Chains A and B, each alone.
Chain A
Amino acid sequence: MSINRLKFNHHLFCQFLLTLSLISFISFGSLAQEDAAAPEATDAGLDPALVSAGESLFNGNCTVCHAINEKVIGPALRDAHERQSEEWIKAFIKNSSKVIASGDEYAVALYNEYNQTQMTAFAFSDDELNSIIAYIKSESAKPIEAAVATTTSADGEAVSASSGVAGEYITAILIGFVVVLILILIVLFLIISVLTKYLKENKELDEEERDLVGQEFSIGQLAKSNAFLGFVTFFFLAIVLKSAIDGLFTVGVQQGYQPKQPIAFSHQLHAGQYEIECVYCHTGVNKAKSANIPSVNICMNCHSAIQNVGGQTGMSPEIQKIYDAAESGVPIEWVRVHNLPDLAYFNHSQHVKVGGIECQTCHGPIEEMAVVYQYSDLTMGWCINCHRETEVNAKGNEYYTKLVELHDQTSKNPLKVQDIGGLECSKCHY
């Protein structure tokens, strides 16, 4: 009886626990919901129309230098209305220099803290200023974590997206295959040994069959057989010949040259991820023989503000090298990757500006290279082949108009580079 009651009690207890957890779960859920709805509740004091008007004004005029949660050029504006009165904020937006000149302690401190950068004066009406302050208030009421989390995850994705996942999969698959093959070999070997053992014990076999079963595989005999020797010699010679010819063709060709540079500059980051045009740094490409390597002042156009990568703070050691060069005036000695022999002449502007050839045609997927390597072989055959196949970019270029007319009178093929002397020795060798 007592055991029975105990069981009953136990059952009741379980039920009680279940209900309790269910209730707590539901109430916690609703609590969480309340949490999420909290900012809206505080917003209730603010007119939603005013806040949205303020948001568009804020995004149009203020985000250039301000953010709610982080210091950009000016201070973070979270809880700005708690630090100063609304009148003060309005006066500062309208004419900050006047507030600073009046000797206001807080304004002067701000001015000095932010490297004496003057805030632009904005001629907003009082209504507009009210709406901007309303927007700042409503944003300040929102929890801070959400905003920070989204920005870091976005940066993280951008960085991780660049690592090669496909390559890792292929290696894993290959290793898997090899393991399976070895297992199959072991199983086959086991089957053979079991079968021969069985046959050997079988007494119904005659002499000939017994010999066959007892036969042993001899490596020595195989190695001495003419067929095998011939086979090995042929393969050996073929491999040696192939590598000798390949080796000879690499002499004087620097394809694949990938020197280590003094600064770990990544084209993948600059030209790929941030889509900076090649000509922004290689300023000579449309005007001169050389595309040019940028001097430090061009690096500093951006790096005066950008001091680290991937959302990290502080100064990256690689970017520090640019600062050192800018301060000392000692040029950065980049290692030249494309060393066209002095015996050949090449002009960038002729190909890029006049010919309209994309950089990638010769330099390969430069926007994917973390470290630049020579993509094309830059041999004469490579140049000549392109001159045979490429049509002259004569569109909108008066220089070629008459040439094209003359060419069209005698030929049905389009005007190619070879037709205007692209195969002449002295075009490139003089």
Chain B
Amino acid sequence: MIRRTLYSGVLSMLAAGLLLSCAAKNDFPGLEYSPQMYHSTPYEPLTQIKDEDQGNWLDSNDEDAHGEFYNSNPYNNFDMTMREPAANTVKRGSYLPYRIPKDSLELAAQLMVNPFDSTAAVLAEGKVLYNSYCIHCHGSKGMGDGTVGKVYKGVTPYNSRAVKDKPGGHIFHVITHGKGRMGAHGSQVSVEDRWKIVRYVQTLQNQ
């Protein structure tokens, strides 16, 4: 009798401990309840499983020669599940791509015209964008004293003599391609957003 209770006690404790070990911790993502519904069958961007054996134990398709969870595109570079837009294509309903090369700063400064007027709405949007993409180096007033700018060094204040009178095209080109120590931000900020930032930066140039 006592032995029986002892056995059942130990067993139930083991079962509880086993269940507790299902929880996610550190490198273990936790036990999945219905894995076939958790893992995407189509290519899922930002989720890539290269290991062909993953999910072999519940494979539902014998013909594809890999496990249930395998999610990689063998036709892409590095088997990635996402890729860049095809070369020489333009997204519908947006601005044409900016094609002036990095070394033609003077040309851009002369040619490029801001499609947005300096209205309150554009400036407000420009400020939000500036505070997202620029403020940590250039500072809230464009003095080059942002939290990163202080460590990064070499951030020109917008109202310094060297850049105070630079036109919008110059600013747009510098955001797109970078200049000196500043990196290129064309991949992060859309053309439209860049022109709005230009409008806001111009108010900071004149303070």
Contact = CB atoms under 8 A, between A and B. Distances in A.
B9 interface: yes
Contact of B183 (A248, A304, A342): A304
Given A254-B30, A330-B78, A342-B39, A65 B148 contact: no
Contacts of B183: 297, 300-302, 304
Contacts of A331: 78, 80
B162 A61 contact: yes
A374 to B, nearest CB: 7
Contacts of B65: none
B120 interface: no
A152 interface: no
A253 B32 CA distance: 8
B164 to A, nearest CB: 11
B26 A259 contact: yes
B188 interface: yes
A256 interface: yes
A402 interface: no
Interface string B13-32: 10111111111111111111
Contact of B154 (A72, A251, A273): A72
Given A250-B23, A259-B26, A304-B183, A343 B154 contact: no
Interface stretch (B98-106, B107-115, B130-138): B130-138
Interface stretch (A43-51, A94-102, A115-123, A413-421): A115-123
A258 B78 contact: no
Interface in B3-56: 9, 12-13, 15-34, 37-41, 44-48
A381 interface: no
B161 A123 contact: yes
Q: Which size class do A's interface residues fall under? A: 35 or more
A72 B147 CA distance: 17
10 contacts: A64-B157, A72-B154, A122-B161, A240-B16, A244-B19, A246-B20, A253-B30, A257-B29, A275-B136, A301-B184
B78 A259 contact: no
B185 A301 contact: yes
B116 interface: no
Given A244-B16, A277-B133, A342-B40, A257 B181 contact: no
Contacts of B135: 277
A339 B154 contact: no
**Interface SS of A by simple majority:** loop
A285 B48 CA distance: 20
A302 B157 CA distance: 18
Interface string A236-252: 10011101101110111
Contacts of B85: none
- Secondary structure class of chain B's binding surface, majority of residues: loop
Contacts of A342: 37-41, 44
A99 B20 CA distance: 74
Contact of B46 (A290, A297, A305, A306): A290
Contacts of B18: 247
B22 A251 contact: yes
B144 A64 contact: yes
B180 interface: yes
Contact of A64 (B44, B46, B160): B160
A73 interface: yes
A65 B157 CA distance: 11
Interface residues of B, number: 64
A20 B25 CA distance: 70
Nearest to B47: A336
A330 B23 CA distance: 33
A341 B37 contact: yes
B151 interface: yes
B138 to A, nearest CB: 11
B46 A277 contact: no
Given A277-B131, A277-B133, 14 more contacts: A65-B153, A73-B153, A240-B9, A247-B23, A250-B23, A250-B30, A253-B24, A257-B25, A275-B147, A297-B183, A301-B178, A301-B182, A330-B78, A331-B78
A260 B25 CA distance: 11
A183 interface: no
Nearest to A298: B188
A273 to B, nearest CB: 8
A151 to B, nearest CB: 11
B30 A236 contact: no
Contact of B33 (A239, A252, A279): A252
A247 B15 CA distance: 10
Contact of A244 (B15, B29, B44, B148): B15
B102 to A, nearest CB: 13
A342 B15 CA distance: 29
A220 to B, nearest CB: 14
A144 interface: no
